[in-house]
Amino acid sequence: MSAHILHIKGLDVIVGFDAASREHVYRHGQDLVVQGDRLLQVGGAYEGHADEIVSGAGLMAMPGLINMHAHPSSEPGNRGLLEELGSRKLGQSSLYEYMPIFRVGIEFAPYTTQVAVSEMLKSGVTTYVDMSLPREGWIENVAATGIRAVLGPMYRSAVWQTRNGHSVEYTWNEEAGRKSFEAALDIARRAKSHDSGRLSAMLCPSQIDTCSEELLKDSRQAALEQGMRLQIHAAQSAVEFAEMTRRHGRTPIEWLSDIGLLDEHLVIGHGIFLNDHPSIFWPQADDFGLLARSGASVAHCPTVFARRGIAFNYYGRYRAAGIRIGIGTDTFPHNLLDEMRTAMYASRIVARDYTAAPTADVFDSVTLTAASMLGRDDIGRLQAGCRADFSLVDLRHPYMRPAREPLRSLLYSASDRAIRDVYVGGKQVVRQGEVLTIDVEKACGEVERGQLVTLANAPGNDYAGRTIEQLSPMVLRTVATGGDGR
Q: Looking at the chain, which residues constitute the CATH 3.20.20.140 domain(s)?
A: 70-375
pLDDT at residue 483 in the model: 57
CB 93 within 8 A of CB 419: no
Residue 485 has pLDDT above 90, yes or no: no
pLDDT at residue 480 in the model: 83
CA nearest to 411, candidates 359, 356, 366, 351: 359
Residue 486 has pLDDT above 60, yes or no: no
Residue 350 has pLDDT above 80, yes or no: yes
| Distance (Å) of CA 477 to CA 79, 466, 467, 473, 480 | 19, 18, 16, 9, 10
- Strand-pair partners of 203: 230
Query: Cα–Cα distance between 285 and 257 in angstroms, integer?
Result: 12
pLDDT at residue 91 in the model: 96
Superfamily of domain 5-57: Urease, subunit C, domain 1 (2.30.40.10)
pLDDT at residue 176 in the model: 96
C-alpha angle with apex 370: 439 to 182, nearest 5 degrees?
Answer: 70
CB 247 within 8 A of CB 253: no
The number of angstroms, rounded, from the C-alpha of 118 to the middle of its chain's C-alpha atoms is 14
Q: Looking at the chain, which residues constitute the CATH 2.30.40.10 domain(s)?
A: 5-57
CA nearest to 35, candidates 2, 1, 9: 2
Give the pLDDT confidence of 159-215 residue by residue, as tens digits.
999 999 999 999 999 999 999 999 999 999 999 999 999 999 999 999 999 999 999
Residue 156 has pLDDT above 90, yes or no: yes
Query: Cα–Cα distance between 367 and 369 in angstroms, integer?
Result: 6
Give the pLDDT confidence of 201-247 residue by residue, as tens digits.
999 999 999 999 999 999 999 999 999 999 999 999 999 999 999 99
Task: Give this prediction's pTM.
Answer: 0.97
C-alpha angle with apex 328: 323 to 330, nearest 5 degrees?
Answer: 130
Query: Cα–Cα distance between 32 and 350 in angstroms, integer?
Result: 40
Query: Biggest alpha carbon distance in the chain?
Result: 73
Q: What is the mean pLDDT of residues 90-112?
A: 96
Given this structure, which CATH class describes domain 70-375? alpha beta
Query: Cα–Cα distance between 138 and 115 in angstroms, integer?
Result: 14
Give the pLDDT confidence of 32-47 residue by residue, as tens digits.
999 999 999 999 999 9
Give the pLDDT confidence of 244-256 residue by residue, as tens digits.
999 999 999 999 9
pLDDT at residue 122 in the model: 98
CB 39 within 8 A of CB 16: no
CB 199 within 8 A of CB 141: no
Residue 276, helix vs strand vs coil: coil
